[in-house]
Amino acid sequence: MRNFNIVIIGCGNVGGGTAKIIYDTSVELAKRAGNRQLKIERIITRHPQAAAKKYGLPIDLFCADADVLSNEDCEKYIQQSLQNPTVELIIETVGGSSVYIHDLHKRILKNGKHLVTANKAILAKHGYDIFEYAKNEQKAVGYEASVCGAIPLIKVVQDSFTGDIINTVSGIVNGTSNFVLSRMSNQGESFEEALQLAQRLGYAELNPELDINGMDAANKLKILVQLIYGIEARTQNFAVKGITTVWKEDFMVAKSIRSTVKQIAFATKQGNEVFAYVRPAIVPDSDFLHNISGATNAIKLNALYSGEHIFVGQGAGALETGSAVVSDVVFIAKHGFMKDFLAPVSPVQYKMANFSDYLSSYLLIIKTTDQPGVIGTVGTALGDTDINIENIAQSIISGPDWFLPVEVSKCSENKLQKAISLIRERKPLLIKDYKFLPIIG
């Protein structure tokens, strides 16, 4: 049985979980990898002793038996690994989208090594270039763990839908935001309370900005849109709204119409155009996403011929995400470079469209005060803009503020903005604030 030698760069949660799985299950993995013994040649990290202790790994797997290594030392060990002809694959779990990481990916491929990464930020920024570079070098790139952690979404889309056309992808792709919104909805906690708990439990980073501002979810959606529709990730431009815009009253309003609020990543094609967004949305209790709580991720694919497909699993965690990384390593050890595996699923040339023009059902929430003529003014303005009202739900009173929820039939955000402008013209002091939340399902 021949060895398949691996180097892991970075030993945080993902790198540590990956190393743990490979080390503990090497015998079983060898059978799955076509009788190739997966062997960790070296783990390169700045804190070898701490990582070895945390993940229960022998210190001799690491580049040095040291407490702390300098960046220069790490770079020296990386260069040695790149020049080692026996190393066949390098796993990058450092993260980030810096020039250094982009250059590292190219150096790995240029030196004849396969690449596996969970780095969605770099793939959303430079993935297209990396895939083209890999094709030229005839080396494989595995990135299953970059979208929704343990959920095997990338390979399913690449392989299992080649006989179908994916019309829509939607779901919850960021565990931190889902955990925070779940706590706000179910326990009535404030945004700050829920976020602090997420940090204490390890669901959120000390700096959770990319999670709460929607950019982490946006990077994952860009990777999926590039894979499914062939639109280069870095050229995609769609609306991204974070969960900091969610009011506690939004949950009260949502519950009054048997719904809740979730952070949703959404993309759909119409003709040769793709509409997409990442933003808080209204999820009715009839939709399976309604009950997806905590840090769980869930994706729904709607295909032209085979209909609806649902994927649910852990979107984060050392061993959970590590299992997705290892699945790429096993696949590459068994199959090596496969050119078509890096190509978009669809050969059709799609382009991004402005979501403001997309027709969707919305819940319009107007923050106002208890004054005469509110419902009449709002209703008339919507009617004058050719927007049909489905339902005016029970208003929510919170302190001095009055939250008026209005469900409208399918229309564009551009029309809703015109209606708001009309309301302001006719009754300037009526609106203190407002928002449009798409209704999914």
Please report the domains of the chain, with CATH numbers, ordered by start residue: 2-152+319-342 (3.40.50.720), 153-313 (3.30.360.10), 359-438 (3.30.70.260)
Q: Which residues contact 320 (CB under 8 A, 6 or more apart)?
A: 17, 149, 150, 313, 314
Specify the pLDDT at position 349: 85
pLDDT higher than 80, residue 159: yes
- Whether the CB-CB separation of 267 and 299 falls below 8 Å is answered with no
Mean pLDDT of 310-321: 90
Specify the pLDDT at position 298: 97
Specify the pLDDT at position 345: 74
Confidence band, pLDDT 50/70/90 cuts, at residue 113: very high
Q: Which residues pair with 366 in a beta bridge?
A: 404, 434
The proportion of the chain whose per-residue pLDDT surpasses 70, expressed as a percent, equals 99
Q: State how far the Cα of 171 lies from the Cα of 310, in Å rounded to an integer.
A: 9
Least confident of 323-337, 369-383, 410-424: 369-383
Q: How many Cβ atoms from other residues are within 10 Å of residue 17's Cβ?
A: 25
pTM of the model: 0.94
Specify the pLDDT at position 346: 73
CA distances from 149 to 17, 144, 202, 220, 327 (A): 12, 8, 15, 10, 12
Nearest of 372, 344, 361 to residue 436 by alpha carbon: 361
